[in-house]
Amino acid sequence: MSGHTKGKWRRKNRNVFVMHDKIRIFIASVFKCMPGGKAESDANAKLIAAAPDLLTACEVAVLALTFEPINPEDIEFIKKAIAEATK
């Protein structure tokens, strides 16, 4: 496995993409969910777009939980990643 597409994943409507040399590279398109409709579909697209940051947050969490004391900056990074995925 070569890993996920690098770069800042962005979301416009229910499309998730990365910009590379002014070219939009699509990662995913989310279709309207039933019964959740547009709101649930939008939330799914936000979660997909946040996936790389959430992965990094999980990696930071593992490191933070491995060593003592836990770095408050690591905790803030993890909270920010979760907030971005759910706002």
Q: Are residues 13 and 26 in the same domain?
A: yes
Q: Are residues 68 and 54 in the same domain?
A: yes
- How many separate domains does the chain show? 2
Q: Are residues 12 and 30 in the same domain?
A: yes
Q: Are residues 35 and 55 in the same domain?
A: no
The per-residue pLDDT for 2 is 56
Please determine, for residue 1, whether its predicted confidence score (pLDDT) is greater than 70. no
62 in a structural domain: yes
* Nearest alpha carbon to residue 77 among 68, 58, 87: 58
Determine the structural domain holding residue 54 and report its residue range. 50-87
Q: Are residues 54 and 73 in the same domain?
A: yes
Angstrom CA distances, 20 to 32, 42, 54, stand at: 27, 24, 21
Q: What is the pLDDT of residues 24-78, one digit of tens each?
A: 999 999 988 778 888 888 888 999 999 998 888 888 888 877 876 777 888 888 8
Please determine, for residue 82, whether its predicted confidence score (pLDDT) is greater than 70. yes
The per-residue pLDDT for 6 is 86
Please determine, for residue 16, whether its predicted confidence score (pLDDT) is greater than 90. yes
Q: Are residues 59 and 40 in the same domain?
A: no
